[in-house]
Structure 1
């Protein structure tokens, strides 16, 4: 998905843990908020990839974090959805369905690229 605040930045669904949430709950909520997909109601399976990344926060986004927070922690999840799944964007300008290699070339962050490489089957995205 293409970020509203940076048209060169394409990424997966992302979000912040809210008070009392576990990472799986956050992933379901963020997918719903950003795409309108209700994972459980649609019969999809959210897969916890058991991968946690830590990366440096971009200077332009540090204002979103508590002062002196240099790094962010990212929990990696995946969910396969139907090709004809209706998407309603709320926080992004556009989305694309791409093959695996094209998606890896399109995303901005190394951690998104790695997640696609490791957890998306070669036959689809």
Structure 2
């Protein structure tokens, strides 16, 4: 596998009940997050969002239905030191495109890159999320019946 491109997506997943899906990373069990993933060459951010949900959760959404909402927000953050080796030499920052989607809590989840998942209240998800950009995205874009 080659080096990662320093451009990714963050997809906040929430239910109609306003609960947020959080994922526990395999490579750092203290790190909980929403769906994230690196954009591949030739891929648009929205294409990456659909691909990453399918890859990480086994949930295939219909692109034609436009289920994923582009939040029209882009973040830039410092890459964790322990992950810098994954990127081209000299890369220290990542650009992150933010999306959100509502899926039923009963959706079958098949984890491929994470240890566990939880459906949490918005407040619990914000408290558990490791990154500040993830916390802010959950606060801004996780909707539903609160």
TM over 0.5, yes or no?
Answer: yes
Counterparts in 2 of 1:49-60, with a 5 A limit?
A: 49-60=71-82
1:96-115 alignment to 2 at 5 Å? 96-115=118-137
Q: How many residues align?
A: 123
Q: How far off is 1:122 after superposition? A: 5.9
- State which of 70, 80, 85 in structure 2 corresponds to 1:63: 85
Output the TM-score relative to the length of structure 1: 0.94
Q: Distance in 1 between matches of 2:144 and 2:40?
A: 33
Partner of 1:30: 52
Unaligned residue ranges in structure 2 (runs of 5+): 1-22
- Cα offset, 1:123, TM superposition: 2.9
SS at 2:36 equivalent: coil
Matched residue of 2:35: which SS?
coil
Does 2:107 correspond to 1:85? yes
Unpaired runs of 5+ residues, structure 1, are: none
Q: Which has the higher contact order (CA 8 A, sep 6+)?
A: 2
Shift of 1:121: 1.6
Q: Distance in 2 between matches of 1:15 and 1:47?
A: 16
Contact 1:35 1:89 in 2 (8 A): yes
1:19 paired to 2:41 = yes
Distance 2:144 2:128 in 1: 16
Question: Which string of whole-angstrom CA distances, capped at 9 and with x for unpartnered residues, describes residues 77-111 of structure 1?
Answer: 00100010110000000000001000000110000
Q: Indicate the structure with greater strand content.
A: 2
**CA distance in structure 2 between the aligned counterparts of 1:17 and 1:116, rounded to whole angstroms:** 21
TM (normalized to structure 2)? 0.81
Partner SS, residue 108 of structure 1: coil
